[in-house]
Each structure stands twice: as C-alpha cells, then as structure tokens.
Amino acid sequence: MRKPKDSFSRGLIRMSWSKKNLFIIHQRGDRLPRSQNRTLFQQKWQAKKDTRAYHGAQLNEQQFRRLFEPKLPTSNIKEQKEEQHPPVSVLTYASLERRLDFIVFRSCFASSIWAARQIIIHGKVSVNGKKVSVPSKLAKDGDIISIDPRAVPYLTEPMTPKGLTFKPIPYMQPFLFIPEYLEVNFNTCSIVFLRNPISRPGRSEIPSPFPPEIHSLAHEYYAERIKKKKSKRTRHLIPVEENFRID
Amino acid sequence: MRIISITFARRVSIPTSVYTKSSILCSLCYNHKRTYHSTPTLFNKDNKDKTTTTPPPSKEEKEKVDDTTQPEAPKAPSRIRRPKYKIWLVNEGKNFTDSYDRPNYLGSNIPFPMNPFFKPQPPLSDSTKEEIWLKFTQEGQTPRKIGTDYGVSLKRVEAILKLKKLEKDMGKKGITLQKNLSENIEKMLGARSFCAEPLTDTLPKVGVPNFETVDENQDFSPEDAAKILRRPTLAKIQEKEHQEELLKPFSLEENSTKDEQIMTLVGRDEKETNQRFQFKFKTVGKEQNVILRDRDGSLYKIEKELIR
C-alpha cells in the first residue's frame, strides 16, 4: 500500500498546510540532503525527489515533462553595486506557477495543492468572468482569477455585513505568504497573475523549501532527459511587447 | 496549562488525558472527509479535541474503552507513536495556533529554514489600494506616477486598479465584500503601505554569447551591436514605449479587440426550441449576414459595430 502524502518516514515536504507537513519542515531544518559518499546521480535523484514532492506533487511525470522548460533564462547584470541574483536554477519550476491550481494555492485560498485542484474541479473558480474547471489551465499575464468565498477553508457560515466569518485554521500561519508575481484582492477573493516569476537581487520569487543548489541538481536531472525547444503553448501567454521591454 | 513530563526510558509515561470515545469517532469521521472546502464544522470540532488533548490515551483510559466493548483481555502497555511530533505540537507548535496578528514563520522571517533565498515580501494593505484607486479615478494620476510614489511596479498598479474596479462593481450589484477576511489576513501577512519594486521587471533574454571581431581602431557603438543582434536599438525601443503610453494610456474601460455585436430580435418560433445548441447562420461574401437561432427558439440578427 502507498504511504500517505505526509508520511514521516519519507520526510517529504509538500504544498500543504497540514501540521504534519509543518513538523516535517521543522525536523528537516536547514540540513541539506547528504551529499557525502553519494554519486552525482544519487545526488540528482535525491534533489529531484525532494523538489518534485513539493513542486507539482499532483502531476504525473509525463504531465510535468510537458511543462518543464530545459532552457533557463539567463541574465546579464553589469553593475556590481547591485546584490547578486541567486543562481538561475531557482526558476526551474517557474513554468508550473502559471497553472490555475498553483495560483489558487499560492494566494492562500486553499489548504493544499490537492484542495486547490478540488476547488477548481468543483467549479468554484472563474477566470476573467468565465468558469474554468480545469486545474491545468495556464494563466496569461493579466488574467483575473476569482474564487467563490464560500469555498475558502477559513471562511465559515455565519454571514455578517462584513462577509463570512473568519475562522483561522490552526498551523496555517507559517504558510501565509503571497509571491510577488500575484496580486490578490481579499475583499472579492480575486487574483491577478502579473508575470512570470523572476529572480531578484539576493532573493527568489518562487516559494520553495529548497535552496538553489538542490534546484540546480534537479534541473540537471531533467535537462539531461528532456530536450525540447520552448513550447508553442506558452508563447501566447506572454504579451509580445515584453520581448523587448527595457526600463 | 498542561505540562508534559517525559522520562527517557524504554516506555514513555504520559499524564492522563481526556481522549473520550466521541473524539475517537470524530477523528474517524475526519479520515473519511472527502471535500477540503466544505464541512468546516467537522474540521473545527476535530481540532477542538486535538488541540486540547494531544497525547494519546493512557493505559487506564484505553482499558476502560475496551471494557465497554469486549470482555477483559490482557493488554501490553501501549507504545506511543510519534512522541516527538506530539510533544512539538503542544510546546513549540502552540505558537502557530495562538496569535493571529502578525506574520509567524518557522524561521525568523523566512518560512523555509533550508532556503534562505525565499524572503516573502508583504503585500499592500487594502487602505493603500483604496488610496491608489482614488488617485487614479479622482485625481487622474497616471499609473507611472502612482508606481513611483508607492514603489509599486506598473503591472501591479494596473492589476490593483482592475481588481478595485471589480470590487466596486460587485459592491454596486449588492454582493457582500469579505472585509473580515481581508482585515484578518492582512494582519497575518504583515501588509504594508508601500512596496519596494522597480517599475518594470523583466529579465532580458540573453542567449549564447555573440563574438564579433572588430578592428582595433574601429569604434563599436550600441547601434552596431543592435544591428548584429538584429534587435531594435535602445533609443528606438524607449521612444516606442513612450509613444505607446501617450497614445494608449491605461484605462479601466474594457477595450475589447473584438467589435461590438448588436443583436436584434427578429422572430420567435416555439417549435424550434433546443436544449443544447445555438445555431448561427453566416453568409459568406461581401454582404455578411449573421443570424442566430437561440435555444428558446428566438431568432436574432447580429450586426457588428466597428469601433475603429
């Protein structure tokens, strides 16, 4: 029988607010997976296992391969006064963040990625006014995603003039953050997907429990096995002007 | 306040707890829960029991429960599963269940201890977004000015304005806004009245390095570089952007690229009702006529009104 998602013996960190998951993150602390006496393949495999358990745990390997982009964006920073960007491998899983279930989870409207999937499948989510019940739908830059307030887990029934009653879920606080590529309006439970996640001086925009070194190894694992050009399906998501935009 | 004493021997002794039969049943119900986003009462009931009574049943309690169902059987002292987890939940984990008025991450200001590169940036508070809305609608400031004042990127300003418009529209329709949610969650997110973002943020797509041999004496200007890279020059790009912002300023009216469609009711046939389909008839050629037969049998004539 398969072990549960938040199994302590496996020790995998998931996209979930459950207290078991929180404890697993606490237990793993700041210790990196061991690299001593490990072959390169073993290190890459461990990195892939850990990162994929968080990024896209609800996806099959086949589904993930369709979204994965082997070419990472490169950046040239001429000025030395600016703090160095983290290694570009932090953007390994950037293409996943456009998915509707990821957006719903990242904006703190679902307690786990599977819950986010369910909310979408049950039809509580609409994109630009139209109901979308496909969790794999990719958002365009500027899309407005709206969620039915009754589907939010920490909003319960006694309806007041100020909306539904707020009842916080225990142990949800450590997971409350909103990434910079989303703009959320809590009054209407709506989100705008701004742009692709990018890296910043000294920090990464994609919330991930793993440091860039682990992402590098995972990226190498997949890049060796997936060789494809930038897919057509994602080209239409970014407006044409962005290709040449300079501040 | 319950103090838990642990003797680090083979068997761990636990103080008595009130883990009654009803709460065991509750936890069983919770395991069979199918939807994540409904039945919050079940979830709350379960948590009420769990937060007050985390340690597992002690020997005596378990025996009492067994007595009611089965005749007496000799029981070995029960092994406590996952003691570290249960102890942590009650001691340090308590921090994450009590106070809900400021951000509370696992690390000091980083949510994942293994990844110090992810530092979540607090969002803008709702009051600031109202200010931005008023500045745009009443004072008529451009998104660029608002962005420079508040340190917000252009895309975010536009997003804030679009969402605020949606909010105002919903308010007008009479839909209650979730003020409880926004007030409480902004406390937990640590919302601020400013952002620290650049106005535009894209990484330039730099590919394989391009080497070009040039004579020692020759000058190499940005225009030559643009020619070799086959891109427009920086000056041209900036000019184009400037022009675009002047000609097509950001506005909240929905500018659909599709032309307006005017539907006029022409006739109605009760016999031609259909539950599933709408039928559209289009003539091909110079004079385009479009007729629509709706599901309830009504016949419409569609005319396009050209915007441009």
Could you tell me if residue B63 is inside a domain? no
Per-window interface: A 177-216 vs B, CB < 8 A: 177-180, 183-190, 192, 194-195, 198-199, 202-204, 206-212
Query: Which residue of B lies nearest to A159 if distances are taken between CA atoms?
Result: B176
| CB spacing of A211 vs B117 below 8 angstroms | yes
| CB spacing of A187 vs B179 below 8 angstroms | yes
Claim to verify: residue B109 and residue B161 sit in the same structural domain:
no
Burial grade of B51 (CB within 10 A; 0-12, 13-18, 19 or more): middle
The DSSP code sequence of chain A is -PPPTT-TTTT---SB--HHHHHHHHHHTTPPPP-TT--HHHHHHHHHHHHHHHTTTTS-HHHHHHH--SSPPP-----SSSPPPPPGGGGTTGGGGGBHHHHHHHTT-SSBHHHHHHHHHTT-EEETTEE---TTPBPPTT-EEEE-GGGSTTEEEEEETTEEEE-PPTT-GGG----TTEEEETTTTEEEE-S---EETTEESS--SS-HHHHHHHHHHHHHH---PPPHHHHTTS-GGGGG---
Point out the residue among A73, A162, A245 whose CB comes nearest to the CB of B200.
A245
Residues of B within 8 A of A194 (CB-CB) are 153, 155-156, 159
State pTM to two decimals: 0.77
d(CA B130, CA B171): 14
Of A47, A57, A59, give the one whose Cα is nearest residue A21: A57
**Per-domain boundaries in chain A:** 8-28+39-71+86-202+215-224
Helix axes B40-52, B21-31, angle to 10 degrees: 130
Lookup result for tokens 């086959």: B230
d(CA A176, CA A166): 15
Paired sense of beta strands A155-160 and A163-166, if any: antiparallel
Claim to verify: residue B109 and residue B128 sit in the same structural domain:
no
Provide the pLDDT for residue B94: 87
| CB spacing of A244 vs B231 below 8 angstroms | yes
d(CA B233, CA B244): 17
Biggest alpha carbon distance in chain B?
103
Is residue A170 within 8 Å of residue B47, measured between CB atoms? yes
Burial grade of B18 (CB within 10 A; 0-12, 13-18, 19 or more): exposed
Burial grade of A165 (CB within 10 A; 0-12, 13-18, 19 or more): middle
A157-206: pLDDT as tens digits: 999 999 999 999 999 999 999 999 999 999 999 999 999 998 888 899 99
| CB spacing of A144 vs B85 below 8 angstroms | no
Measured between CA atoms, how close is A160 to chain B, in angstroms?
9
Phi, psi of A121 (to 5 degrees): -65, -35
What the block records as the tokens of A92 is 């390994």
Which of A14, A51, A155, A183 is the best residue to mutate to test the B interface, defined by the most B CB atoms within 10 Å of its own CB? A183
Burial grade of B185 (CB within 10 A; 0-12, 13-18, 19 or more): buried
Per-position pLDDT tens, chain A of length 247: 899 999 999 999 999 999 999 999 999 999 999 999 999 999 999 999 999 999 999 999 999 999 998 888 776 555 666 778 888 899 999 999 999 999 999 999 999 999 999 999 999 999 999 999 999 999 999 999 999 999 999 999 999 999 999 999 999 999 999 999 999 999 999 999 999 998 888 899 999 999 999 999 999 999 999 987 666 666 777 776 555 554 4
Q: Does A114 touch chain B (CB under 8 A)?
A: yes
What the block records as the tokens of A189 is 């439970």
Query: Which residue of B lies nearest to A112 if distances are taken between CA atoms?
Result: B36
Domain boundary pick from B119, B141, B169: B119
| CB spacing of B36 vs A153 below 8 angstroms | yes
Point out the residue among A108, A141, A174 whose CB comes nearest to the CB of B104.
A174
Provide the pLDDT for residue B256: 60
Domain containing residue B89: 83-119
Per-position pLDDT tens, chain B of length 308: 444 444 444 444 444 444 444 444 444 444 455 677 764 554 444 444 444 444 444 444 444 444 445 555 666 667 888 899 999 999 988 888 887 888 999 988 899 999 999 999 999 999 999 999 999 999 999 999 999 999 999 999 999 999 999 999 999 999 999 999 999 999 999 999 999 998 887 666 666 777 889 999 999 998 898 888 888 888 888 888 888 888 888 888 765 656 677 888 888 888 888 889 999 999 988 888 899 999 989 999 988 876 55
Is residue A238 within 8 Å of residue A141, measured between CB atoms? yes
Residues of A within 8 A of B190 (CB-CB) are none
Query: Which residue of B lies nearest to A21 if distances are taken between CA atoms?
Result: B85
Measured between CA atoms, how close is A61 to chain B, in angstroms?
25
Phi, psi of A104 (to 5 degrees): -65, -40
Point out the residue among B119, B167, B237 whose CB comes nearest to the CB of A188.
B167
φ/ψ region of A202 (left if φ > 0, alpha if ψ in -120 to 50, else beta) reads: left
Domain boundary pick from B67, B94, B119: B119
Residues of A within 8 A of B121 (CB-CB) are 180
Percentage of chain A lying above the pLDDT 70 cut: 91
d(CA A97, CA A137): 11
Lookup result for tokens 């009130």: B18
Point out the residue among A32, A76, A114 whose CB comes nearest to the CB of B114.
A32
Name the CATH superfamily, with its identifier, for domain A8-28+39-71+86-202+215-224: RNA-binding S4 domain (3.10.290.10)
Phi, psi of B228 (to 5 degrees): -70, -40
d(CA B54, CA B19): 9
Query: Which residue of A lies nearest to B109 if distances are taken between CA atoms?
Result: A174
Phi, psi of B139 (to 5 degrees): -85, -15
Q: Domain tally for chain B?
A: 3
Domain boundary pick from B96, B119, B142: B119
Provide the pLDDT for residue B14: 44
Measured between CA atoms, how close is B229 to chain A, in angstroms?
12
| CB spacing of A156 vs B166 below 8 angstroms | no
Point out the residue among A76, A108, A169 whose CB comes nearest to the CB of B206.
A76
A101-114: pLDDT as tens digits: 999 999 999 999 99
d(CA B8, CA B57): 19
